[in-house]
């Protein structure tokens, strides 16, 4: 069995350099700080602010005893506004629940560069 694991690891695609979670946070913050970032952030939050709050409340209602620790969500937004590669850390029950909703949304069309457009969202839950 160990040989199969080694073979699977050898066959797995390698992550692109600079593609770990923390690098994705940095790319999202850099995009937010770029010239087009503030306008996109304003449009993004106008569209997802209420749905994000509602989704998080629903996750809490379904998992009322879950860990409410802060978490970060990263995603890439395609030119069509569809998020991809949505990832959360730490991957708590609530973070994973919110991410599953987030993947189904259509976000505002992002700026043309960079492609795909990186976003990062820090989430803190207050009682």
HSE-CB for 105 with a 13 A CA cutoff:
21
In whole angstroms, what is the distance from residue 99 CA to residue 107 CA? Answer: 14
pTM: 0.84
pLDDT category at 18 given cuts 50, 70, 90 is low
* Residues linked to residue 75 through DSSP beta bridges, in sequence order: 119
Percent of the chain with pLDDT over 90: 82
How confident is the prediction for the chain on average, in pLDDT? 88
Helix boundaries (H) for the chain: 2-11, 21-33, 37-62, 93-102
- pLDDT for 11: 36
Of 36, 44, 29, nearest to 107 by C-alpha is: 44
- Contact assessment for residue 69 and residue 98, using Cβ atoms and an 8 Å cutoff: no
Q: Name the token pair of 120.
A: 């990062």
């Amino acid at each position: 069995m160990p040989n199969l694991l080694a073979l699977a690891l050898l066959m797995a695609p390698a992550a692109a350099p600079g593609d770990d979670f923390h690098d994705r946070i940095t790319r999202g913050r850099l995009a937010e700080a770029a010239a087009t970032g503030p306008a996109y952030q304003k449009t993004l939050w106008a569209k997802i602010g209420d749905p994000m709050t509602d989704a998080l409340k629903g996750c809490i209602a379904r998992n009322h005893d879950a860990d409410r620790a802060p978490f970060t969500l990263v995603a890439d937004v395609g030119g069509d506004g569809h998020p991809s590669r949505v990832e959360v850390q730490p991957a708590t029950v609530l973070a994973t629940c919110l991410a599953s909703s987030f993947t189904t949304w259509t976000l505002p069309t992002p700026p043309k560069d960079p492609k795909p457009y990186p976003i990062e969202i820090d989430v803190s839950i207050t009682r």
